[in-house]
Amino acid sequence: MSDDHLVIAGMGAGYGDVSVLHDISFAVPRGKIVAVVGVNGAGKTTLLSAVAGLIVPTRGTVTLDGADITRTAAHRRTGLGLAMVPEGGRLFPFMSVRENLELGAYAPASRSGLVERMSEVMDMFPILRDRQDQLAGRLSGGERQMCAVARALMSRPQLLLLDEPSVGLSPLMTEKVLATVTDLAAREGLSVIIVEQRVTEVLAMADIGHILDHGRIVRSGLAADLRKDRQVQETYMGL
């Protein structure tokens, strides 16, 4: 029996009359990192928004742990173990690092273990412990992204959705952030969907890859196989 954490089947989504995603189907096996790569405007954020419940798909289904969540409200999905790191992190710049982290645990279920979880999360990101009283707006790009990931972890998610964590980061810092994600996914047994434009870097850390082009998945495979594929290299990796 397969152990799929999340299954997206025949999903379509868009905004009003504009349809953006067409017939999206893929699964996220438990504990695996799934990368969805594509250029700006391909539909990556729309895809994550539909999984997070921020928009309702026009077709198809989203199933989490075997239960249909296609129409489940976003805040209820948090309670089901889903957490999203939005593009750019979306921290509150005039609040401290600690206050931003606390906001990740606003759901009643997470609030009870807040103090303990805060300490665990700071163990994972020691730099955030050092900077806990600093305003989030004063963090460097890399620290901000770490803080956004840490905030998502405050609700003890099982499935993490990451929207282009590399935006605004240098290649070196991108590698560092992605390595951190890989590490903690393994440590916490997380399943991850990460969407990215940095194809080469993200396929190096993911287990499975899908290429999204104009709202459709045009290639899928083991990330390691996609990386070695000549056509993928020429078309999407600029090699």
Ligand X SMILES: Nc1ncnc2c1ncn2[C@@H]1O[C@H](COP(=O)(O)OP(=O)(O)O)[C@@H](O)[C@H]1O
Q: Does 44 bind ligand X (CB under 6 A)?
A: yes
In terms of CB distance, is 78 or 166 closer to Mg ion? 166
In terms of CB distance, is 20 or 97 closer to ligand X? 20
Among 1, 40, 108, 231, binds ligand X (CB under 6 A): 40
CB of 37 to ligand X, least distance (A): 9
In terms of CB distance, is 10 or 41 closer to ligand X? 41
In terms of CB distance, is 72 or 197 closer to ligand X? 197
Candidates 34-42, 68-76, 127-135, 221-229: pick the segment binding ligand X (CB under 6 A): 34-42
Candidates 5-13, 42-50, 63-71, 227-235: pick the segment binding Mg ion (CB under 5 A): 42-50
> What Cα–Cα distance (Å) separates residue 77 from each residue in 26, 74, 123, 180?
19, 5, 26, 24
User: Distance between CA 166 and CA 184 in Å, rounded?
Assistant: 17
Structure tokens at 182: 């890989």
Q: Does 166 bind ligand X (CB under 6 A)?
A: no
Q: How many binding residues for ligand X (CB under 6 A)?
A: 11
* Residue 209 interacts with which of ligand X, Mg ion, none, CB < 5 to 8 Å by class: none
Query: 27 Cβ partners below 8 Å, 6+ apart?
Result: 2, 4, 6, 7, 8
Q: Does 20 bind ligand X (CB under 6 A)?
A: yes
Structure tokens at 5: 């954490």
C-beta separation of 37 from 195 below 8 A: yes
Among 45, 49, 158, 166, binds Mg ion (CB under 5 A): 45
In terms of CB distance, is 38 or 209 closer to ligand X? 38
C-beta separation of 12 from 24 below 8 A: yes
Residue position matching structure tokens 């991108």: 174
Structure tokens at 165: 């964590």
CB of 90 to Mg ion, least distance (A): 12
Strands 191-196 and 33-37: parallel
Provide, for the chain, the percentages of residues in helix, strand and coil under a 3-state DSSP scheme, each rounded to the nearest 5.
40, 30, 30
Nearest partner of 90 among 36, 145, 49, judged by Cα: 145
Among 38, 142, 165, 209, binds ligand X (CB under 6 A): 38
Q: Which residues of the chain form contacts with Mg ion (CB under 5 A)?
A: 44-45
Q: Which residues of the chain form contacts with ligand X (CB under 6 A)?
A: 15, 18, 20, 38, 40-46
